[in-house]
A and B are shown apart, each in its own frame.
Chain A
Amino acid sequence: MSSRIPIVPESTEPLPGLGENTGLLSWVASIDHKQIGIMYLIGTLIYFVIGGLEALMIRTQLAKPGSELLSPEMYNQLFTMHGTTMIFFVVMPFLIGVGVYLVPLMIGARDMAFPRLNALSFWLFAFGGVLLYYSFFTQSGAPDVGWFAYAPLSEKPFSLNNGPTYWALGLLVSGIGSLISGLNNVVTILTMRTPGMTMRRLPLFVWMMLVTSFLLVFVIPIITSAFVMLLLDRLLGATFFTPAFGGSAILWQHFFWGFGHPEVYILVLPAFGIVSEVIPVFSRKPIYGYEFVAGSTVAIGLLSLGVWAHHMFAVGLGNVANAYFSLASMLIAIPTGIKVLNWVSTMWGGRINFAVPMLFATAFIIEFVVGGLSGVAIASVPIDWVVTDSYFIVAHFHYTIFGGSLFAIFAGVYYWFPKFTGRMMSETLGKWHFWLTVVGFNMTFFIQHFLGVMGMPRRTYTYHDMPYWGSMNLISTIGAFIIALSVLVFIWNIIVSLRKGEPAGDNPWKAWTLEWATTSPPPVYNFKLVPPVRGRRPLWDLAHPDSPDEPDAKIVTEGPNG
């Protein structure tokens, strides 16, 4: 294979790996995609706990009207850091990390195309977060301008402290890591596939990682240039975003959302990929309409590049621009709807095993549909004019990012934990985790739709003059503590299962993609022998030689497109 694809560098010495040396150095110095993937997962779990604690403090402050637990400055730092952390240091790196671990296995490769760049991506992510969080220990405190840091509030005249500088620098560093990771994934998926693994046989998770990676390559440069301009403004006295000196406040928003909306799909497409792997395996059926699930992903990826100004309907861009962005945003509902219906049809007629991964995947469908429908509603400009910047929006994006991405992430963790560690996670604790999450999540966020419609603006540390919002906020806060409890159960499950979980074997779920054809955890070199690929479900074909998916397919031994 290496002779056919010279673009891929071959290591001349053995890669440091999970082998005999399992000391700290073997991790820090590792360029093995599985170790790097695991480090991503551990890193995101740490940031998840930190971001969750920030959310708990926010909800505690809001539990009653006129609470004086937190100062406004501290409250503003907390919601800024909560949003920034959950998006840039939890959901996004988790999905990149799980991709780094699984993509080479799923396409039958030995590692990523550029293993050293892979390590660089991880360390840029990790240290970008450290740089951001270091701000808490400085005199000025953490950034306090919101996760989209609208100019000119984020400019020097209105934010004299160094918070926004740390924010831009930390995200600049981790963003370069994401960009490199995107490139690495694109090259890996396009060039490292095992013989027989054509694009039409690619596992859907890999398809979605491919589209996500293209998005990363396209949009990270947009936000990186915006960060550089903001830093020039703040540190060297440039005026890109300061209207008082000829700059434009709206320009920042175009840059930010030009990145920021595709980012939403970067957060959710790999999650779609996870669900598209889990649902067929637990329904014991192939994915319904493979071409449409894969094709709709490409459609979403392309459309997502042209919808950014639906975050800016209240800015006053004019109704022609508003109408265009409204239509483009509504169109995304079509490929997304196709996906949902294909997942449901995959389950239809199946013999479904509702183990924990499938529970989360099933709940994901419902929660995500709620978030998707409120998304269509706010794509309609006049409705957006009423509810934007209110708690309705907070409810909406938590239904997509928590109810969507995070539910899928939990499904993925329970599904692949046996592969990562060689042990099963506890089903009992998993079910506790699942039900607490479902109850806590809906209790916290569904009611926020109504708070928004009633007039509660987001990002307000107090509502002392609106006491009748108190009871609804209290319900939301109780829900947040139930989520916290569910996370404790989840972490406890990980710890217990790592020590005493039942041995998993190679393929505990009787799944069909290539990562299940090797040992759990896989050896450094991944596969002794990659099984022949002559259909979308190589392990199904092996198990059912009399009824393979593609009866006429020939076994090929050379080239991915043979």
Chain B
Amino acid sequence: MEALAGLTYYTIAISVVILGIIVIAVAYIIIRFRKKSGEEGEPYQDFGSLKLEITWTLIPVAIVAVLFLLTCSTMRAVDPPSADREPDIIIIGHQWWWEIVYPESGVITANEVHLPAGRQLLARLESIDVIHDFWVPELGRKIDLVPGHPNYMWIVAGEPGVYLGACAEFCGAQHANMRIRVIAQTEEEFSEWLTRQARIPETPSTGIAAEGAKIFQEIACMNCHTIAGTPAAARVGPSLTYLATRDTIGAGVLTNTPDNIAKWLKNPAKYKPGSLMPNMKLTDEQVNAIVAYLEALDE
């Protein structure tokens, strides 16, 4: 990041100087060489100067040379070779949400990348459908998620906190609502989170939540979604195992509250028009039962 800041300031400085010279020159010309009333005839006919042409060819050559060398060194600093290391995180783009996989622990989550603050992780980026682009402005560079062409990127968040990002490559109807949250935690918090996410939840056996579990398996939910420890293992839509622990639903369209999950289940297209999640025409009882089930998984 420091190398990048240096390059950026240098580029801005050069640009401001060049723009300043041109603007001042043009302003001077407008004042000094405007045709005054009473002036007659033609000014001195000047056809050019080889010396000047050579000068203003060579100076930009020098600027470009410096800028190019800085570019190369910064590129190496920002994107060092990964030396065949296995990735710590796999980020998979879907229309219009992110699947986050921690290969070592087997944890699969969605739309929120948890990181230990200060530790540099290697991410592999893939796409299941069209081209997406992972961009969290405060963390620096962006990179495309290209189907059939996995990319690698180093990712590090200096301080604990939430860093907001979005898909930056146009990917269809809901490109705008493909938000990503990077949640940087201390090492302890992160390993606690990871352990909790890796645990297989117990399926509730009583009450309305048990009813919800039954509905989840009976209607089409399990055709697209995963809940660890149950036959639902599809990865078409986001894993719902620990949905209750996330901040948002629908990749950033709503904050995650039981009420909002209920609203979303009733009519996803109202909040995310074009979303691939169909309206299942659920009754209020079914919705409440499913919400209770999803919330109970985190208890």
List A residues at the B interface (Cβ < 8 Å): 71-73, 76, 144-146, 150, 152-153, 157-158, 243-244, 248-250, 283-286, 288-292, 314-316, 319, 322-323, 326-327, 330-331, 333-334, 337-338, 340-342, 344-345, 347-354, 362, 365-366, 369-370, 373-374, 376-377, 380-383, 385-386, 388-390, 453-455, 457-465, 544, 547, 549
A380 touching B53, Cβ below 8 Å:
no
A349 touching B61, Cβ below 8 Å:
no
Contacting residues, chain B, for A389 (C-beta < 8 A)? 133, 135, 142, 168-170
B164 sits at the interface (CB 8 A) = yes
- For A159, the closest partner residue in chain B by CB is B172
Interface residue from B56, B68, B72 paired with A337 (Cβ < 8 Å): B56
CB distance from A397 to the nearest CB of B (A): 15
List B residues at the A interface (Cβ < 8 Å): 3-4, 7-8, 11-12, 15, 18-19, 22-23, 25-26, 29-30, 33-35, 39, 42-49, 52-53, 56-57, 60-61, 64, 67-68, 70-72, 74-76, 78-79, 95, 129-131, 133, 135, 137, 140-144, 146-149, 151-152, 164-177, 179, 252-253, 273-274
Can you list 29 pairs linking A and B with CB atoms under 8 Å apart? A72-B173, A76-B170, A150-B170, A158-B95, A244-B148, A249-B148, A249-B149, A250-B146, A285-B43, A285-B45, A289-B49, A290-B47, A314-B133, A316-B149, A319-B75, A319-B76, A344-B22, A348-B29, A354-B35, A362-B30, A376-B67, A381-B71, A383-B7, A383-B8, A385-B143, A386-B137, A389-B169, A455-B165, A460-B175
Contacting residues, chain A, for B43 (C-beta < 8 A)? 283-285, 349-351
Contacting residues, chain A, for B61 (C-beta < 8 A)? 334
A455 touching B166, Cβ below 8 Å:
yes
Interface residue from A289, A362, A390, A461 paired with B26 (Cβ < 8 Å): A362
- For B52, the closest partner residue in chain A by CB is A345
B45 touching A382, Cβ below 8 Å:
no
Interface residue from B47, B52, B143, B144 paired with A286 (Cβ < 8 Å): B47
Knowing A288-B46, A316-B151 are in contact, say whether A365-B33 is a contact too (CB < 8 A). Answer: no
Please count the residue pairs between chain A and chain B whose beta carbons lie under 8 angstroms apart in the complex: 256
- For A341, the closest partner residue in chain B by CB is B56
CB distance from B19 to the nearest CB of A (A): 6
- For B49, the closest partner residue in chain A by CB is A289
Contacting residues, chain B, for A243 (C-beta < 8 A)? 146-149
Bound form: Cα–Cα A390–B131 in Å = 16
CB distance from A12 to the nearest CB of B (A): 44
Beyond the given A319-B76, A390-B135, could you list 18 further A-B residue pairs with CB under 8 A, ordered by the A residue number? Answer: A76-B173, A152-B129, A243-B149, A284-B35, A286-B46, A314-B133, A314-B143, A315-B146, A315-B149, A333-B64, A349-B33, A351-B33, A354-B30, A366-B26, A377-B12, A460-B175, A462-B176, A463-B176
Contacting residues, chain A, for B23 (C-beta < 8 A)? 366
Interface residue from B11, B152, B166 paired with A376 (Cβ < 8 Å): B11
- For A327, the closest partner residue in chain B by CB is B68
A249 touching B68, Cβ below 8 Å:
no
B137 touching A369, Cβ below 8 Å:
no
A150 touching B131, Cβ below 8 Å:
yes
Interface residue from A338, A347, A351, A388 paired with B142 (Cβ < 8 Å): A388
- For B70, the closest partner residue in chain A by CB is A380
B33 touching A382, Cβ below 8 Å:
no
Interface residue from A315, A345, A382, A464 paired with B71 (Cβ < 8 Å): A382
CB distance from A91 to the nearest CB of B (A): 22
CB distance from B148 to the nearest CB of A (A): 3
CB distance from A556 to the nearest CB of B (A): 22
B146 touching A385, Cβ below 8 Å:
no
Contacting residues, chain B, for A366 (C-beta < 8 A)? 22-23, 26
Bound form: Cα–Cα A389–B145 in Å = 13
A385 touching B142, Cβ below 8 Å:
yes
A385 touching B144, Cβ below 8 Å:
no
CB distance from A211 to the nearest CB of B (A): 19
A347 touching B130, Cβ below 8 Å:
no
Contacting residues, chain B, for A390 (C-beta < 8 A)? 135, 168
CB distance from B169 to the nearest CB of A (A): 6
Knowing A249-B131, A289-B53, A457-B135 are in contact, say whether A352-B34 is a contact too (CB < 8 A). Answer: yes
* Most chain B beta-carbon neighbours within 10 Å: one of A250, A338, A382: A382
- For A362, the closest partner residue in chain B by CB is B26
B39 touching A465, Cβ below 8 Å:
no
Interface residue from B4, B12, B143 paired with A382 (Cβ < 8 Å): B4
Knowing A344-B22, A382-B75 are in contact, say whether A455-B7 is a contact too (CB < 8 A). Answer: no
Bound form: Cα–Cα A460–B149 in Å = 25
* Most chain A beta-carbon neighbours within 10 Å: one of B3, B78, B135: B135
A316 touching B143, Cβ below 8 Å:
yes
Bound form: Cα–Cα A238–B262 in Å = 43
B34 touching A462, Cβ below 8 Å:
no
Knowing A286-B47, A465-B179 are in contact, say whether A457-B166 is a contact too (CB < 8 A). Answer: yes
CB distance from B97 to the nearest CB of A (A): 15
Bound form: Cα–Cα A351–B32 in Å = 9
Contacting residues, chain A, for B166 (C-beta < 8 A)? 455, 457, 460
CB distance from A238 to the nearest CB of B (A): 16
Interface residue from A158, A338, A341 paired with B129 (Cβ < 8 Å): A158
Contacting residues, chain A, for B252 (C-beta < 8 A)? 465
Knowing A153-B170, A292-B53, A455-B166 are in contact, say whether A370-B19 is a contact too (CB < 8 A). Answer: yes
CB distance from B80 to the nearest CB of A (A): 10
- For B79, the closest partner residue in chain A by CB is A319
B129 touching A323, Cβ below 8 Å:
no
Interface residue from B34, B75, B133 paired with A323 (Cβ < 8 Å): B75
Contacting residues, chain A, for B273 (C-beta < 8 A)? 71-73
Bound form: Cα–Cα A354–B60 in Å = 30
Contacting residues, chain A, for B44 (C-beta < 8 A)? 285, 349
A330 touching B48, Cβ below 8 Å:
no
CB distance from A539 to the nearest CB of B (A): 13
Interface residue from B48, B68, B179 paired with A290 (Cβ < 8 Å): B48
A150 touching B179, Cβ below 8 Å:
no
Knowing A340-B22, A341-B56, A350-B33 are in contact, say whether A146-B168 is a contact too (CB < 8 A). Answer: no
Bound form: Cα–Cα A374–B30 in Å = 25
Bound form: Cα–Cα A480–B236 in Å = 41
Interface residue from A316, A337, A342 paired with B60 (Cβ < 8 Å): A337
Bound form: Cα–Cα A174–B213 in Å = 58
Contacting residues, chain B, for A351 (C-beta < 8 A)? 33, 35, 39, 42-43
CB distance from B51 to the nearest CB of A (A): 11
B35 touching A338, Cβ below 8 Å:
no
A377 touching B34, Cβ below 8 Å:
no
Bound form: Cα–Cα A365–B42 in Å = 24
A286 touching B168, Cβ below 8 Å:
no
Contacting residues, chain B, for A353 (C-beta < 8 A)? 35
B64 touching A373, Cβ below 8 Å:
no
Bound form: Cα–Cα A380–B66 in Å = 11
